[in-house]
Amino acid sequence: MDDQFDDKFHDECGVFAIYGHPEAAKLAYLGLYAQQHRGQESAGIVSGNGRKIYTHKGMGHVSEVFTEGVLKGLRGWLAIGHTRYSTAGDTVLLNAQPLTVGCNKGLISVAHNGNLTNARQLRKHLEETGSIFQTTSDTEVIVHLLARSAKKNFQEALEEALLQVEGAYSLVLLHGDQLYVVRDPRGFRPLAIGLLPRPENAPSGSHSSNGEAYVFASETCAFDLIGARYWGEVNPGEIVRVDSKGIHTSRFAAETPHAFCIFEHVYFSRPDSQVFGRSVHRSREGLGRRLAREAPADADLVVPVPDSGVAAAIGYSAESGLPFKFALIRNHYVGRTFIEPEQNIRDFGVKLKLNPVRSLLEGQRVVLVDDSIVRGTTSRKIVRIMREGGAREVHVRISCPPTIASCFYGIDTPTQKELIGWNHSVEDIRQYIGADSLAYLSLDGLRQSVGDSEGEFCTACYTGNYPTKLATIQVETSNRR
């Protein structure tokens, strides 16, 4: 659906990798399919057998990019895959990943979830000293740095390259018959490890040492679909190498305070995933419970903004004792384009997506639970739709603090000036969206609900306190009242 009606931060990318399975590409396809919510602009898979690689990439959803015939052609027993929503670089096929480059280190294919905050400076320097870039994506910087390294050993060269980049990166790389999986020292983006039993009749050459294939994914919902079991996390600052002898783990960077993206738990990840080792659904229900304690409402029922507000609304309902009702129905079949009638219909885009259930709302005082207010435009339309649907009062409750700053770690966000929370008070926002009352969860409440007792999460979009130096970006101080 057109983004103009979707006032949310946008998902970034999803990665997947598998080593040691005769159906590597098909399983990568399913792994990407399960992670479609992390990027809808392009998808790609590179597979290999240690001697040759096979590639297919395209614009659109995973189901549009891959056909049975295409997957048959992606041979081999190791594969990496990517779904993309561009956070850096243009939206063109050239920037679709995995990115494959031939250089003095051989053929390297890489897929990246995250955003490098010093990519512009590094690229400028590389170009001034002779590098020729194929794409406008920040990921290519890593490959050029790798190619420039004087180290002969591939892993040492990769480590040298990684020590020069800053920001967020969860990477999967295919190099010959080896798979490398990397997470940045702060661990902004998730990256989970799973094990998948191999078929008994698997041909030789598709081996892994313990009779199981290794799988890696941004989110564990990818493991559930292919029947893999969750084994753990790639730790921040770690390189995992998988070869015929098994899995080898080592650190490439010194211990650094962690900065797991808290918004993965608030909104981005699927509720059926384990992210940073914790159930997303559990976090979201906890956010709702805490919100009910911090911001109770004199109301008759709790209604979620589907789908992302559902788990928090369940928590709010359980804690408050108010009944939970699906009184706002989402149309799951809205395509990315549609034909609008010539006669102007107010709130057409939002109505196409969400419709109120009049029989549940008529005369009721409603607590409307959502996960964020970005610009405020969509929330305003939803409140209006609820009233038109018969609600007597609409009390909006948001399961995180006001969003006051943009993200530079792989999430597509509007500029800071476009964020309604940056320079408006909660009361201003309430008036703008037309709610009877408005309350947000506190930062403490958010941290506690995701189990952040050690301060291991990034909360920069709520505080403006970025966990790294931002080389290229001027961050403005909030003048929020």
Closer to ligand SF4 at the Cβ: 188 or 214?
A: 188
The whole-angstrom separation of Cα 329 and Cα 321 is 22
| Under 8 Å between Cβ of 114 and 189 | yes
The whole-angstrom separation of Cα 131 and Cα 120 is 14
Closest residue to ligand SF4 in the complex (CB): 407
Q: How far is CA 133 from the centre of its chain?
A: 26
Residue ranges of the alpha helices (H) in 321-472?
A: 348-353, 358-361, 377-388, 420-423, 426-433, 443-449, 460-463
Closer to ligand SF4 at the Cβ: 109 or 459?
A: 459
Q: Give the position of tokens 């990684």.
A: 162
Told to check if 108 binds ligand SF4 by CB under 6 A, we report no
Q: Work out which of 409, 422, 432, 440 binds ligand SF4, going by CB under 6 A.
A: 409
CB of 218 to ligand SF4, least distance (A): 14
Closer to ligand SF4 at the Cβ: 26 or 265?
A: 265
| Under 8 Å between Cβ of 420 and 224 | no
CB of 264 to ligand SF4, least distance (A): 7
| Under 8 Å between Cβ of 441 and 398 | yes
Closer to ligand SF4 at the Cβ: 139 or 178?
A: 139
**Number of residues binding to ligand SF4, judged by CB under 6 A:** 11
Query: Considering only residues 411-440, where is the footprint of ligand SF4 by CB under 6 A?
Result: 411
Q: Is the dihedral of CA 457, 248, 228, 29 positive or negative?
A: positive
CB of 266 to ligand SF4, least distance (A): 8
Query: Considering only residues 160-189, where is the footprint of ligand SF4 by CB under 6 A?
Result: 188
Closer to ligand SF4 at the Cβ: 186 or 351?
A: 186
CB of 405 to ligand SF4, least distance (A): 7
Q: Work out which of 43, 407, 429, 438 binds ligand SF4, going by CB under 6 A.
A: 407
Q: How many H helices and E strands in the chain?
A: 17, 23
CB of 407 to ligand SF4, least distance (A): 3
CB of 291 to ligand SF4, least distance (A): 18
Pattern 441-470, binding to ligand SF4, x per CB under 6 A? Answer: -----------------xxxx---------
Residue 446 corresponds to which tokens in the numbers above?
Answer: 């958010």
Quick count: other Cβ atoms within 10 Å of Cβ 149?
Answer: 18
Closer to ligand SF4 at the Cβ: 223 or 408?
A: 408
Residue 132 corresponds to which tokens in the numbers above?
Answer: 């020729």
Query: Considering only residues 211-230, where is the footprint of ligand SF4 by CB under 6 A?
Result: none
CB of 10 to ligand SF4, least distance (A): 10
Told to check if 110 binds ligand SF4 by CB under 6 A, we report no
Q: Is 221 a catalytic residue?
A: no
Q: How far is CA 274 from the centre of its chain?
A: 13
| Strand bridging mode 393-398 / 365-370 | parallel
**Strand partners of residue 50:** none
Pattern 254-293, binding to ligand SF4, x per CB under 6 A? Answer: -------xxx------------------------------
Short-list 325, 309, 474, CA closest to 397: 309
Closer to ligand SF4 at the Cβ: 409 or 422?
A: 409
Closer to ligand SF4 at the Cβ: 61 or 265?
A: 265
Query: Considering only residues 289-348, where is the footprint of ligand SF4 by CB under 6 A?
Result: none
| Residues with Cβ within 8 Å of residue 69, at least 6 apart in sequence | none
| Residues with Cβ within 8 Å of residue 231, at least 6 apart in sequence | 192, 193, 194, 195
Told to check if 32 binds ligand SF4 by CB under 6 A, we report no
Phi first, then psi, for residue 149 (nearest 5°) are -60, 140
By CB under 6 A, which span of 33-41, 220-228, 336-344, 404-412 interacts with ligand SF4?
A: 404-412
CB of 59 to ligand SF4, least distance (A): 25
Amino acid at 326: F
Told to check if 66 binds ligand SF4 by CB under 6 A, we report no
The whole-angstrom separation of Cα 437 and Cα 379 is 13
The whole-angstrom separation of Cα 417 and Cα 394 is 27
Pattern 354-393, binding to ligand SF4, x per CB under 6 A? Answer: ----------------------------------------
| Under 8 Å between Cβ of 389 and 329 | no
The whole-angstrom separation of Cα 242 and Cα 319 is 46
Which positions touch ligand SF4 (CB under 6 A)? 188, 261-263, 407, 409, 411, 458-461
Indicate which residues carry an active-site annotation: 13
